Amino acid sequence: MKTTALVLCLAAAAAAHAQTAVKPATAAAKPAATAHPAAAGVSPVKYPPGVTPYPGVPKTAFSLRYQDIKVGTGADAVPMKMYKVKYTGWRAADGVIFDSWEKHPTPAMDKDGKPVMGDDGKPKMNAPEPASFPVGVGRMIPGFDQGFTGMKVGGKRRIFIPWQLGYGAREMPDRGADHPGIPAKSDLVFDVELVEMVDLPTPAAHPPMGGAAPHPATPPSGAPPGAGATTQPSTPPPASSTTTPPPQK
């Protein structure tokens, strides 16, 4: 009988210890159900006096996404600079490439500045060069203008641009066999390589004659789509050395 009573006491003590060990785990699980908004990936917001915060997580209408294919080792990409970029852009819905830096070779010029003609009677073309365009001045579609944030020179990135940050509800017509159009509300994808970043050229200080307002320069075609006319006059770089984006339509 004493042996049986001893066994029962040991069993009861073990069961009591097991129940005691489970209690802290149950208590520790409670905070996970009421996680702080910051822990759930939501940035905390400080509200001014008199403004009422409401429960729930704010919804996202659209967002710019990207994948870093290669992290660069050069300077950080910053706005208000002139970028040299190798790029390829295609329509997300069907994979059709509508533009690429390789589709914009420049004609070879002789010492007198005249095109060098080939045996076929057509001008000889130089090898394509990276496209040059200003970033941060509103010349590009918003998704392309903002898509280099966080990059470094020498880096490669894939940018996924929703139609709201692309051409919106506008339809871009075809610009030849090598430049298919872009339907309205088209999501776009760009593969970009940031080759170089330099200061923007200083516009020439030529005051308008007779009080007339200066007309914004219209850049030539041949680079990533989405560039609009600038709000200040500027002189486009020579076509033989750089490529500037076409204006928005």
pLDDT in tens, 170-222: 999 998 888 899 999 999 999 999 999 999 888 766 555 544 443 333 333 34
CB of 237 closer than 8 Å to CB of 201: yes
Whichever domain contains 103, its CATH number is 3.10.50.40
User: Is 190 among the domain residues?
Assistant: yes
Q: What is the pLDDT of residue 138?
A: 87
* Number of domain units in the chain: 1
Q: Would 232 be classed as within a structural domain? A: no
76 inside domain: yes
Could you list the residue range(s) of the whole structural domain that residue 158 is in? 65-201
Confidence (pLDDT) at 226: 55
* Torsion sign, CA atoms 5, 6, 11, 17: positive
In this predicted structure, what is the pLDDT of residue 235? Answer: 34
Report the greatest alpha carbon distance in the chain: 119
26 falls within a domain? no
- In terms of DSSP bridges, do strands 65-70 and 97-100 run parallel, antiparallel, or are they unpaired? unpaired
Whether residue 168 lies inside any domain: the answer is yes
- The CA distance from 64 to 142, in Å, is 10
Taking alpha carbons only, the member of 120, 123, 139 closest to residue 131 is 139
Residue 226 lies in a domain: no
> Among all chains, which residue has been given the structure tokens 């470094």?
152
Regions of the chain short of the pLDDT cut 70: 1-43, 204-249
154 is a domain residue: yes
Question: pTM to 2 decimals?
Answer: 0.64
Q: Is residue 195 part of a domain?
A: yes
Instruction: Determine the Cα–Cα distance for residues 139 and 228; give it in Å rounded to an integer.
Output: 5
What is the model's pLDDT at position 202?
80
